Amino acid sequence: MNLGFLASHNGSNMQAVIDACRAGRLAASPVVVISNNVDSGALERARNERIPCFHLSGRTHPDPGDLDREIVDVLLEHDVNLVILAGYMKKVGPVTLATFPGHVLNIHPGLLPDFGGRGMYGRRVHEAVLAAGAGTTGATVHVVDAIYDNGPILAQTKVEVKKTDTADTLARRVLALEHELYVETIDRIIRGEIKLT
């Protein structure tokens, strides 16, 4: 299984998956990293790991169709068969989705279908969870389709929201769970326990 990553910021989820590959916990190879953010931690991590990496964004490709096609070209050139969104804050284009049907995964820092959709990402999810007074939150791994946070849910993990929690404490606790959940879910896919269409 060749993994291609799309990431916008720190890339800690991506690192967790790479570490699991390196440790032999995942029968997979991290083969390419693409980021829309030239200064992202994800690109730095990729360089440290000697994984080919590319900055592709509206700056390098002002036309969204061109950008989508370039992303696909890079993924195909590296023989990617599973696309891992790891804190990727852009919508995945139609050509990418058509080229890897059912094989683009995302991790979301909340319990979808709640607290998802357009504008609901990163810290905003935790702020919304606290504002709603939810007693439980968590993380979700799902298949990506054309609508934000909408595709089939593959796995979830839950955590209690404490009275003393802030968006920062919640983000930290959920992120640690995300790392484990993403690795475990990819492993279950590789083992055939979870079937992707």
Binding site for ligand GAR (CB under 6 A): 7, 9-13, 86-87, 107-109, 121-122, 175, 178
Let me know: does 42 contact 5? Beta carbons within 8 Å.
yes
Q: Which is nearer to ligand GAR, 42 or 75 (CB)?
A: 42
55 flagged as catalytic: no
Count of positions (residues) in the chain: 197
> Which two tokens mark 192?
């055939």
Nearest residue relative to ligand GAR (C-beta): 87
Q: Which is nearer to ligand GAR, 68 or 178 (CB)?
A: 178
3-state secondary structure 123-157: HHHHHHHHHHCCCEEEEEEEECCCCCCCCCEEEEE
Q: Which is nearer to ligand GAR, 25 or 90 (CB)?
A: 90
| Burial grade of 49 (CB within 10 A; 0-12, 13-18, 19 or more) | middle
Catalytic choice (78, 103, 108, 142): 108
Shortest Cβ distance from residue 93 to ligand GAR (Å)? 16
Shortest Cβ distance from residue 109 to ligand GAR (Å)? 4
Active centre residues (catalytic): 108
